[in-house]
Amino acid sequence: MAIQLQQVSYTYAENSLWKQTALHEITLGIPKGSLTGIAGATGSGKSTLLQLFNGILKPTQGTVQVLDVTIRAGEKSPKLLPLRRRVGLVFQFPEQQMFEDTVEKDLCFGPLNFGMSPEEAKERARQAMLEMGLDLGLLTRNPFRLSGGQMRKAAIASVLAMDPEIVVLDEPTATLDPVSRAELISQLERLCREQGRTIIIVTHRMDELLPYADRWVLLKDGKIAFQGSGGELAEEPDILARCGLGVPHSLRYWRGIADRFGLAGEKPRLTPESLAELIASLPGAGAAGRPEEGGMPMNERLLLGRSIETGSWVHKLDARSKLTGMLLYVAVILLSDSWPSMALLAVFSIAVMASTRIPLKYFIKAAKPLRYLMLFIFIVQLLSVKAGNVLWSAGSFSLHEGGLRLASFSVIRMLFLITFTALLTFTTTPGKLNQGLEGILSPFKKFGLSPDRITLMISIALRFIPTILDESQIIMKAQASRGADLQELPLKEKARMLVSLLVPVISSAFRRAQDLVYSMEARGFRMDAPRSRYHRLRWGAADTVFVAMFVIMGVAVALL
Q: Are residues 225 and 261 in the same domain?
A: no
Q: How far is CA 241 from CA 52, 171, 253, 302, in A?
A: 27, 20, 16, 20
Q: How many C-alpha atoms does 105 have within 13 Å on its Cβ side?
A: 11
Domain boundary among 197, 214, 236: 236
308 phi and psi angles, rounded to 5 deg: -115, 110
pLDDT in tens, 439-455: 888 777 777 777 767 77
For residue 409, give every residue at least 6 positions away whose Cβ sits within 8 Å of its Cβ, in sequence order, or none: 336, 337, 342
- Structural domains counted in the chain: 4
What residue type is 111 in one-letter code? P
Domain encompassing residue 224:
33-51+78-236
- Helix (H), strand (E) at residue 398: strand 397-400
CB distance 37 to 210 below 8 Å: yes
Report the distance separating Cα 282 and Cα 266, nearest Å.
13
Q: Is residue 189 part of a domain?
A: yes
**DSSP letter for each residue of 125-138:** HHHHHHHTT--GGG
Report angle CA 263, 269, 274 to the nearest 5 degrees.
120
Q: What is the DSSP letter of 428?
A: S
Which candidate, 209, 229, 288, places its Cα nearest to that of 253? 288
Domain annotation covers residue 200 = yes
- Residue 455 and residue 424 in one domain: no
453 and 389 in a common domain: no
Alpha-carbon span 30 to 213, nearest angstrom = 12
Is residue 194 classed exposed, middle or buried when 0-12, 13-18 and 19+ CB atoms within 10 A define those classes? exposed
Write b or e for each residue in 347-384: b if 16 or more Cβ atoms lie within 10 A of its Cβ, otherwise e.
Answer: ebbeebbeebebeeebbeebbeeeeeebeebbeebbee
CATH classification of the domain holding 163: 3.40.50.300
What is the reported pTM? 0.61
Note whether 358 and 477 are same-domain residues.
Answer: no
Per residue in 248-259, pLDDT (tens digit) is 777 777 777 777
Q: Look at residues 253, 230, 244 and name the one whose alpha carbon lies nearest to residue 295.
A: 244
Residues 469 and 373 in one domain: no
Query: Does residue 219 lie in a domain region?
Result: yes
Q: List the one residue out of 259, 210, 164, 178 whose CA is nearest residue 37.
A: 210
Are 411 and 271 contained in the same domain? no
One domain for residues 328 and 399: yes
- Residue partners of 85: CB distance under 8 A and separation at least 6: 110, 114, 162, 163, 164, 483
136 and 108, same domain (yes or no): yes
Q: Are residues 494 and 361 in the same domain?
A: no
H or E element at residue 37: strand 35-40
Q: Phi/psi zone of residue 450: left (φ > 0), alpha (ψ -120 to 50 degrees), beta?
A: beta
- The candidate with the shortest Cα–Cα distance to 471, out of 96, 184, 104, is 96
Give the β-pairing of 35-40 and 61-66: unpaired
Q: Is residue 299 part of a domain?
A: no
Residues 6+ apart with CB under 8 A from 373: 414
Decide: residue 429, CB within 10 A, 0-12 exposed, 13-18 middle, 19+ buried. middle
From the list 131, 129, 51, the residue with the least C-alpha distance to 87 is 51
Q: Could you read off the pLDDT tens digit of each residue along the chain, which spans 560 residues? A: 899 999 999 998 777 767 888 999 999 999 999 999 999 888 889 989 998 998 888 999 999 999 989 999 888 878 888 888 899 888 888 887 787 888 999 899 888 888 889 999 999 999 999 988 899 999 999 888 888 888 889 989 999 999 899 999 988 888 788 888 888 888 899 999 999 999 999 988 888 888 889 999 999 999 999 999 888 887 777 888 888 888 777 777 777 777 777 676 677 777 666 777 777 776 555 444 443 433 333 333 322 335 677 889 998 999 899 999 999 999 999 888 889 999 999 999 999 999 999 888 888 888 887 888 899 999 988 888 888 888 888 877 788 888 898 999 999 999 999 888 888 888 888 778 878 887 888 777 777 777 767 776 766 766 676 677 777 777 777 667 676 665 666 666 666 666 677 777 787 777 777 767 766 655 556 666 665 555 677 899 999 999 999 999 999 988 87
